[in-house]
Amino acid sequence: MTNIELYALEGKSFDVTTYRGYAKLSDLARISQADVYDEAKNPGGIQRDLNKKHATEAYLYAAKGEGKLGEYRLWPEVVLNVRDESVVRKEQVTKAGGQTLTKLSFDLSKIDKSSARPQVSRVDGNHRLYFADGEVDDTLSPVEEITPFSITVGLNVMAEQTLFADVNDNHKGMNTSHLHNIIFRSAPEAKTMDEDPALWIAIKLHENPDSPFLGLVYRGGVRDQGSQRYINLTSFKNGIDLLLTSGKTLNAIPGTTIETVPAKYILIRNYWNAVKKIYSSDWNKDSLLLKGVGYRAMSVVGGSIIDRCLADGETDPSDMEPLVAMTRKTRFDSGSTLDWSKNGPVSAYGGMKAVTLLANRILAAIAPVNESTVRSLSTEAGVLPEKN
């Protein structure tokens, strides 16, 4: 193949003449390349570094339909800019209704992809095109599926760069909590349990009347000013992922996915019910207990507490409350004990690295439990009456 012919409607998008049409992903990949920013080798580049995992997922979605939620697939248009006009020949085919149909003929013999600076630049769509021609990884077949494109011709690098910045600066990415909620609603529950158990558990904790998080999770969309949403779905799910990772015995529960994920949900619900009981005064949207590092650290702690309860075969909230009560004895270098207020010792912990540090400090307060300790702590937690 020496030439690739594309047919497109010529028109204007605001100030820029564009050619819009449909073509094989493999053809769009063959004529173009990314202008990747490299401080040493290509300081004038405008593209972010490629994420190969994302590019692989894009290829599998296009070539095999892997990862699609429903019956159909769809992509927005790929955007290219022909910087070197010598590689393309434009020919007006017909004109009707004020629109011009143009044939764009790309001469592949003139396109040199060994250069860091592309002759046809991928303004938007590099991850979708990276593997599409099968040339980067010859074990992959070219993608013959059709996708829309928009091509500009003759924009200089500075114009392309400023338009690229304009488009990305004015584009608001989808709220990830909203996206997770859509994914949950679009897939069969069994599939979500298998592929993203933390998401399934998070939604159930938000919806179940027996959960301490009933109605407290923001799942995207319109924010109801009359409701109190303590935590967004993405952060909530991330904490559950941490808890599942921390609970070694929890993760080894035997059975099929459709059996084990609901069981894990019940155990996690029991743990957070115990936390709410012990820290009832901190169960509000202003407390650090349900924010950032505090919530994530207590999620890690939850994995260990659930493991200990599973080892004893006692997993009701009342069984977990004595262990959760021990966390109130956590001591910090300042000499203060665990305080979830915005000005308390937890406020000094920032960033994901601090999650492990805070979790380990809290876990150090959970001593081995004997019968006397259990009764004492259960009394303190209000589970058992005090002895006369």
Pairing of strands 231-232, 217-218: parallel
The answer on pLDDT for 241 being more than 70 is yes
Q: How buried is 332 (Cβ within 10 angstroms: 0-12 exposed, 13-18 middle, 19+ buried)?
A: middle
Give the mean model confidence (pLDDT) for residues 27-48: 83
pLDDT of residue 225: 38
Is the CB of residue 137 less than 8 Å from the CB of residue 52? no
Q: How much is the mean pLDDT over the chain?
A: 88
- Please give the Cα distance from 99 to 9 (Å, whole number): 7
H-state helical runs in 247-370: 248-251, 257-278, 292-312, 317-326, 353-363
Global pTM value: 0.66
- Closest among 115, 112, 121 to 35, alpha carbons compared: 121
Q: Which amino acid is at 124?
A: D
User: Residue 104: is its pLDDT beyond 80?
Assistant: yes
Q: Note the pLDDT of residue 296.
A: 96
Q: How confident is the model at residue 385 (pLDDT cuts 50, 70, 90)?
A: low
Of residues 170 and 44, more confidently modeled: 44
Helix, strand and coil in the chain, % to nearest 5: 45, 15, 35
Question: Which tokens in the block code for residue 264?
Answer: 């894990």
Number of Cα atoms under 13 Å in the Cβ half of residue 224 = 10
What residue ranges do the domains of the chain occupy? 3-170, 176-380
Enumerate helices (H) and strands (E) in the chain, giving the number of each. 14, 9
- Selected residue with higher pLDDT from 323 and 376: 323
Q: What is the crossing angle of helices 371-380 and 317-326, to 10°?
A: 90
- Phi, psi for 169 (deg, rounded to 5): -75, -35
Q: Cα–Cα distances in Å, from 232 out to 238, 276, 295, 296?
A: 10, 18, 12, 13
How far apart CA 356 and CA 352 sit, in angstroms, is 8
- C-alpha–C-alpha distance, residues 62 and 141, integer Å: 11
Residue 376 reports pLDDT greater than 60: no
Residue 349 backbone dihedrals phi, psi, to 5 degrees = -95, 120
* Segment 321-366, tens digit of pLDDT: 999 999 999 999 888 899 999 989 999 998 878 999 999 999 999 9
Give the CA diameter of the chain.
Answer: 98
How confident is the model over 61-74, as a mean pLDDT?
90
Predicted pLDDT of residue 49: 75
Q: Which residues are CB-contacts of 91 (< 8 A; sequence separation ≥ 6)?
A: 102, 103, 105
Question: Which residues share a beta bridge with 232?
Answer: 218
Per-residue pLDDT tens digits for 247-258: 999 999 999 999
> Among 86-95, 123-132, 208-217, 345-354, which is the least confidently predicted range?
345-354
> Mean pLDDT throughout 370-383?
55
